[in-house]
Structures are given as C-alpha cells and as structure tokens.
C-alpha cells in the first residue's frame, strides 16, 4: 500500500469526523455519542471491540457526574444520533473503548486517543471559524477546546489504514479511546482494568502544545507532572451567630485555615512541586455559623513520589484543620496522573517515521509538556512492565490557547498525525 496516497485520500473524511465530533462535544464520562461512533467504526473495520464495564475499573473512575446527569447525557446522545443499543451498554459513564487488531505473532502495540471535551461554552464570535463554517458545539457548556475531537479523528484514521494493511503487519494492535482526560480522570480506570498490561510499545499524542506549526513533530514529550486532584467537604454545625455562637461548629474557618496552611507545605528537594486551592465555597447566611464548606484543590510533583509527598501533607493539614474546629471532613479523589517521560528509543523510531511522512517539515526530539496528562498512567504501567512508551506532539497552528472558548486548530495536521502513527506502527511490527 502507498501509505501517503491512502492517507491523502482519507483527509476529507478526517475533517468530516472531527467536525461532527466538535459539533456534538461531550465532557468527561459523558462521551456516549462519541464512543458509540468509535465502536461502530471499529466494528465495521473488523476490529475486536471491547467497551463498557469490561474496560474500566469502577473504583478508579474519578470525578463521575451524578447518576441523573449521566442519564441525561446518555439520552441526549441518543437524540443526537448515538446507537441506543451500544450507548445503553455504557450507562453509568463507561465510555472507554478498546479496538484490537490481531496480526499474528509479534509485539503488542498500543495507541491512545482521548475523546472528551471541556466544560466550556464555545465562543459565539462570528469570526470564530466553527461558527463561520457551521460546526460549533451544539451542546451548551461543552466544547472541544483542547483538540480531542482531532485526536479521535486521527485515531479512527489510524484504525482505517492499519485495518487495510493488516497483511503487512505482525503482532497485535490495541487502540485505546479514552474518556475523561480533562481533570486527569479517565486513564487510570482503564489501566487498572488491565487494558495495557500486555503492551510492548505505547504511543500517545496531542495536537499543539509546544508544536505550534503544521509540519512540526515532537517525538518525545517530557516533563509530565504527577498530580492529585481532590475535593475536601467540611461539615460542621449551624447556629445563630449572635444568640448561640458557642453551639456552632464553623466549617468556613476550618476550610480557610486549611487553605492558608496548604500553601505553607515545605517544598520537596527532589524536584518541582505545586499546590493550588482553586475553589473555596462556604456558609449560608450572614447571621449563621457556617456549617458547610467545599474546597477544590490539586497537588503536583515533578515525579510521582514528589506528588505523593505533597498529597500526604495536604491530607494531613486538611484533617488537622477540621479537628481544630471540631468539624467533619470528607476527602474525595477527583483525578490523578503519574509523572513520566518518553523513552528515547521509541521517540527515535517516531522520528524516523516522521521523516518518511510528506508534510513533516521539522522534527524535534523532545518537548516539555509543562503540565499533567493522564496518559502518563498508561506510560507508567507499560514502562514498569518492561515496555517502551512515548508521547508525540503534532504541530498545528491554533486560533487561541488550549482551553480557550475560541480554540481551533489547523485541520491539515490531521493526516500528518495519522501517517506518522501508521508508519511508526509499521516500523515496530517489522523490527
């Protein structure tokens, strides 16, 4: 097969898929329509397809919406064209999908594609290209502002080309379509279900970030910060603030004490560490002792161990602050990611594949992500079991920064991403 010619022919379909997904944006754990489209396409291509509870560990599905919200999004997805028989098997938020292509003896190669949108309402600016060309999000409060619609389109493009060249491959190809990357909530649930335990080589990718020109490929993403997200829910006792202040138990003061002291945690000598209290809400009235408070916070670390240190200290401080004011506190995990970096050997193979891809004009060996990505859980699991993993960045000019309501990317990057990934798989299966 002439890979370049096949991908070029596929390019308009990639744009069509991307725009359909963009118009029907779905945030974490509610990607029912997106996931059913993935299941249908992989099935048509001849993949063995696994989805629903079998590819998730419920214990690690962090930050799930309420059952009522999940059901509402499920019904919306069906109304917007999702196959109801498939979608209802994902009820409860089980929106991850694994496609398996068995090509005989050889290595197991995994590729991960995230599917979720952000909880953002897309800009109504008439100059915003999705508005001009009619593919802006129809779902208020959900928008693909980070390019995951493009990632899913690339994943389906890769699936198409690999299925057509199955006779040239050996080993097993596993495509992971992952929910809830935003907030780093989805990957660990799939990892703990064992989906990548047999993977020898793992590849992940992202549009943009440090690669801001179409034609640029960064082959070995680095600088993944480990992170832990949590909510602290303080519950005290209300009382009349004037007549009986001694009868109350002040959740506001407990949470405020915790917030101040969290930022006083001693930094770790082993590398960079971060903590941030992003939300603090408390109280019910001017003359009522505040009985309730919620704090939303995150820790980060240059390594998984440093983040674990920050998380342990944060939990200790929160519990101590609650004890000081004689209130109860519940800590709810809301997401997490491991630290990590790409294996240079695999990054070099990606670079060789990129060098064979028309349209690639610049190949960089490394780029610092500068944040957290829950793909790192998959990377960590594969590397700890003796495999190799890498994270590439696919160059694209973007209209606004990631997570901005005016975000958009250059769709010429889609076929480039498909071809680099396909050529990487081909090299790995033939090595």
Decide which of 302, 337, 372 is a domain's last residue.
Answer: 337
Chain centroid, CA 205 distance in Å:
11
Count how many residues are written for the chain: 431
Angle at 313 between CA 308 and CA 318, to 5 degrees: 125
Q: In which residue are the tokens 């109350």 written?
A: 248
Q: Given CA atoms 138, 44, 146, 271 in this order, what sign does their dihedral have?
A: positive
Cα end-to-end span (Å), the chain? 19
Q: How far is residue 301's CA from residue 290's CA, in Å, rounded to a whole number?
A: 33
How many domains would you assign to the chain? 2
152 and 24 together in one domain: yes
pLDDT in tens, 274-290: 999 999 999 999 999 99
Maximum CA extent, the chain: 83
Using the structure block, give the residue that is written with the tokens 């199955």: 166
- pLDDT for 57 equals 98
DSSP bridge pairs for 288? 240
Asked if 18 and 411 touch (Cβ cutoff 8 Å), the reply is: yes
What Cα–Cα distance (Å) separates residue 5 from each residue in 167, 223, 270? 18, 35, 49
The pLDDT tens digits for 210-253 are 999 999 999 999 889 999 999 999 999 999 999 999 999 999 99
> What pLDDT is stored for residue 368 in this prediction?
85
Quick one: 367 and 329 in the same domain? Answer: no
HEC assignment per residue over 376-398: HHHHHHHHHCCCEEEEEEECCCE
Nearest to 342 by CA among 206, 148, 228, 237: 206
For residue 265, what are the domain limits? 226-337
Note the pLDDT of residue 112: 98
Tokens of 222: 């680095």
Same domain, 184 and 291: no
Residues 270 and 176 both lie in one domain: no
Strands of the 226-235 sheet, one edge to the other: 273-282, 292-301, 226-235, 328-337
| pTM for this model (two decimals) | 0.94
Q: Of 340, 333, 342, whose CA–CA distance to 377 is shortest? A: 340
Q: Tell me: do 219 and 253 sit in the same domain.
A: no
- What integer pLDDT is reported at residue 431 of this predicted model? 74
Check whether residue 358 and residue 310 sit in a common domain: no
Q: Are residues 196 and 254 in the same domain?
A: no
Q: Is the same domain home to 348 and 284?
A: no
What tens digit of pLDDT does each residue of 362-409 get?
Answer: 999 998 887 899 999 999 999 999 999 999 999 999 999 999 999 999
For residue 369, give the nearest of 393, 345, 388, 347 by alpha carbon: 393
CATH code, domain with 271: 3.30.70.360
Give the CATH number of the domain where residue 137 resides.
3.40.630.10
Band (19; pLDDT cuts 50, 70, 90): very high
Residues 230, 125, single domain; the answer is: no
HSE-up of residue 362 (Cα within 13 Å, Cβ side)? 15
Report the alpha-carbon distance of residue 232 to residue 253 in Å, rounded: 14
State whether 93 and 108 are in the same domain: yes
Q: Are residues 328 and 195 part of one domain?
A: no
Which structure tokens are listed for 283? 């109280």
Q: What φ, ψ does residue 49 adopt, rounded to 5°?
A: -115, 130
pLDDT (tens digit per residue) in 76-113: 999 999 999 999 999 999 999 999 999 999 999 999 99
User: Is the pLDDT assigned to residue 23 strictly greater than 90?
Assistant: yes
Q: How far is CA 191 from CA 49, 186, 257, 387, in A?
A: 17, 9, 36, 14
Of 228, 260, 233, nearest to 331 by C-alpha is 233
The set of residues, in sequence order, having a beta carbon less than 8 Å from that of 320 and lying 6+ positions away, is: none
Task: Among 300, 315, 337, identify where a domain stops.
Answer: 337
Q: For residues 225 and 340, is the Cβ–Cβ distance under 8 A?
A: no
Mean pLDDT for the chain overall: 97
Domain boundary among the residues 337, 359, 392 is at 337
> Do residues 210 and 230 share a domain?
no
- Nearest-angstrom CA–CA distance, 201 and 373: 18
Task: Answer whether 122's CB lies under 8 Å from 407's CB.
Answer: no
């Amino acid at each position: 097969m002439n890979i370049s010619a096949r991908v070029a022919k596929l390019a308009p379909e990639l744009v069509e898929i991307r725009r359909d997904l963009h118009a029907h944006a779905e945030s974490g754990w509610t990607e029912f329509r997106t996931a059913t489209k993935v299941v249908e396409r992989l099935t048509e291509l001849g993949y063995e397809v696994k989805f629903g509870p079998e590819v998730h560990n419920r214990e690690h599905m962090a930050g799930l919406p309420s059952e009522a919200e999940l059901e509402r999004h499920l019904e919306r997805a069906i109304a917007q064209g999702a196959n109801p028989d498939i979608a209802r098997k994902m009820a409860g938020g089980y929106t991850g999908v694994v496609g398996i292509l068995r090509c005989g003896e050889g290595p197991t190669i995994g590729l991960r594609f995230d599917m979720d949108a952000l909880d953002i309402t897309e800009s109504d600016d008439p100059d915003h290209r999705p508005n001009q060309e009619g593919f802006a999000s129809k779902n208020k409060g959900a928008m693909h502002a980070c390019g995951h619609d493009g990632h899913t389109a690339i994943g389906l493009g890769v699936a198409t080309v690999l299925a057509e060249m199955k006779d040239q491959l050996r080993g097993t190809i596993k495509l992971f379509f992952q929910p809830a990357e935003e907030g780093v909530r989805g990957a660990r649930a799939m990892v703990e279900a064992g989906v990548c335990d047999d993977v020898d080589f793992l590849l992940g990718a992202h549009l943009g970030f440090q690669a801001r020109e179409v034609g640029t490929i960064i082959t070995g993403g680095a600088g993944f910060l480990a992170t832990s997200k949590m909510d602290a829910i303080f519950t005290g006792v209300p009382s009349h603030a004037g007549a009986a202040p001694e009868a109350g138990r002040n959740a506001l003061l407990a949470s405020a004490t915790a917030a101040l002291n969290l930022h006083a945690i001693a930094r770790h000598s082993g590398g960079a560490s971060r903590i941030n209290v992003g939300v603090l809400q408390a109280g019910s009235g001017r003359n009522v002792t505040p009985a309730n408070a919620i704090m939303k916070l995150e820790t980060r670390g240059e390594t998984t161990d440093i983040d674990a240190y920050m998380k342990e200290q944060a939990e200790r401080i929160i519990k101590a602050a609650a004890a000081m004011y004689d209130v109860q506190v519940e800590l709810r995990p809301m997401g997490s990611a491991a630290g990590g970096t790409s294996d240079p050997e695999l990054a070099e193979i990606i670079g060789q594949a990129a060098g064979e891809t028309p349209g690639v004009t610049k190949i960089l060996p490394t780029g610092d992500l500068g944040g957290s990505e829950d793909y790192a859980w998959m990377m960590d699991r594969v590397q700890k079991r003796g495999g190799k993993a890498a994270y590439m960045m696919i160059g694209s000019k973007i209209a606004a920064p990631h997570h901005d309501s005016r975000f958009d990317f250059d769709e010429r990057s889609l076929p480039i991403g498909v071809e680099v990934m396909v050529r990487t798989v081909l090299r790995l299966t033939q090595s």
